[in-house]
């Protein structure tokens, strides 16, 4: 029975790819991208998109990991629950709402968009850093203390490597959400690939629309895979867990 299911799955995938190819040709998206001017324009928008995401993510990672580390220190630990609650609450707020709220007090343009992306991306990173460091087993910390490590060494050599898997999951969620939200940043005047999508919808031009939507999707999938690869680099071999579902 399992074999039949897998065959059906493969058949569906092949049919799906065929349909996607036919669709791309039918809608004229390939023709659209073959035009050198339009192609250069899409590339420029993609660059804008990536710069926006990169700036926001660098800032968000720095702050998120910082929050995670500060609120797991012995002196600040009592506030960790409150921080977790606030972060959890923040995560339920929809991305479009965050963009809209930021726009209403910072105006339109690149900076407000980056700020909104930054605020929204901090949350999963902070949450997972907190959770990851909190989940490091106590006996590991005791062993480190017994070896005469000071607090900095414990953080760097024991807590962070053990929490890395969870922290990376947070980073990955954050990055993917950030790329998706950056597509909405067009609405507050920051450009990016969302421009092609929204203009395509408004003009009812499918080729233009797909020329924005497909690169956005590829960007998100690529980022997702890169994060998996990053895990191989950052997590010490002995600590790699079974691929979590």
Partner 1 sequence: MVWDYIVNNTAKCIELTLEHIFIVGMACSLAIVIGVPIGVAITRNKSLASKVLNTANIFMTTPSIALFGIMIPILAPFGYGLGKVPAIIALILYSQLPIIRNTYVAIKNVPPELVDAGRGLGMTSWQRLKEIEIPLAVPVIIAGLRTAAVMSIGIAAIAAYIGAGGLGVLIQQGIGRSYEPMILTGAVLVSVLAIFVDGFMAGLESLVTPKGLKVGRRLRHG
By CB under 8 A, name the binding residues for partner 1: 1-2, 5-6, 9, 23, 26-27, 89, 92-98, 100-101, 103-104, 124, 127, 169, 173, 176, 179-181, 183-184, 187-188, 194, 197-198, 200-201, 206, 209-210, 212-214, 216-217, 220-221, 224, 244-245
Nearest distance, CB of residue 95 and partner 1, angstroms? 6
SS3 116: helix
Nearest distance, CB of residue 230 and partner 1, angstroms? 16
Is 152 or 245 the residue whose CB approaches partner 1 more closely? Answer: 245
Q: Return d(Cα 58, Cα 121) in angstroms, integer.
A: 10
Nearest distance, CB of residue 206 and partner 1, angstroms? 5
Is 143 or 203 the residue whose CB approaches partner 1 more closely? Answer: 203
Closest CA to 127 of 177, 175, 65, 74: 65
Nearest distance, CB of residue 106 and partner 1, angstroms? 12
The helix or strand, by DSSP H or E, that contains position 159, with its residue range, turns out to be: none
Is 34 or 93 the residue whose CB approaches partner 1 more closely? Answer: 93
Is 43 or 93 the residue whose CB approaches partner 1 more closely? Answer: 93
Q: Return d(Cα 244, Cα 159) in angstroms, integer.
A: 20
Q: Phi first, then psi: what are they for 244, rounded to 5°? A: -75, 150
Residue 236: which region, alpha, beta or left (left: phi > 0; alpha: psi -120 to 50)? beta
For residue 185, give the DSSP letter. Answer: G
Is 84 or 155 the residue whose CB approaches partner 1 more closely? Answer: 84
Q: Return d(Cα 11, Cα 141) in angstroms, integer.
A: 51
């Amino acid at each position: 029975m399992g074999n039949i299911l897998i065959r059906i799955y493969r058949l569906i995938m092949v049919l799906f790819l065929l349909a996607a190819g036919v669709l791309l040709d039918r809608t004229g998206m390939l023709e659209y991208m073959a035009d050198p001017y339009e192609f250069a324009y899409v590339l420029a928008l993609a660059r804008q998109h990536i710069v926006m995401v990169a700036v926001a993510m660098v800032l968000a990672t720095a702050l998120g990991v910082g929050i995670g580390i500060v609120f797991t220190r012995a002196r600040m630990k009592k506030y960790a629950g409150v921080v977790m609650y606030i972060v959890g609450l923040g995560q339920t707020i929809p991305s479009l709402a965050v963009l809209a709220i930021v726009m209403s007090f910072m105006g339109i343009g690149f900076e407000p968009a980056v700020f909104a992306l930054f605020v929204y991306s901090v949350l999963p990173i902070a949450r997972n850093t907190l959770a990851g460091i909190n989940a490091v087993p106590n006996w590991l910390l005791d062993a480190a203390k017994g070896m005469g490590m000071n607090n900095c060494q414990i953080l760097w050599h024991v807590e962070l490597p053990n929490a890395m898997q969870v922290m990376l999951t947070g980073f990955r969620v954050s990055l993917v959400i950030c790329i998706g939200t950056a597509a909405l940043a067009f609405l507050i005047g920051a450009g990016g690939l969302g421009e092609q999508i929204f203009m395509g919808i408004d003009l009812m031009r499918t080729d233009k629309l797909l020329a924005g939507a497909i690169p956005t999707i590829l960007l998100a999938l690529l980022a997702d895979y890169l994060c998996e690869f990053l895990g191989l680099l950052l997590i010490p071999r002995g600590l790699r867990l079974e691929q979590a579902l």
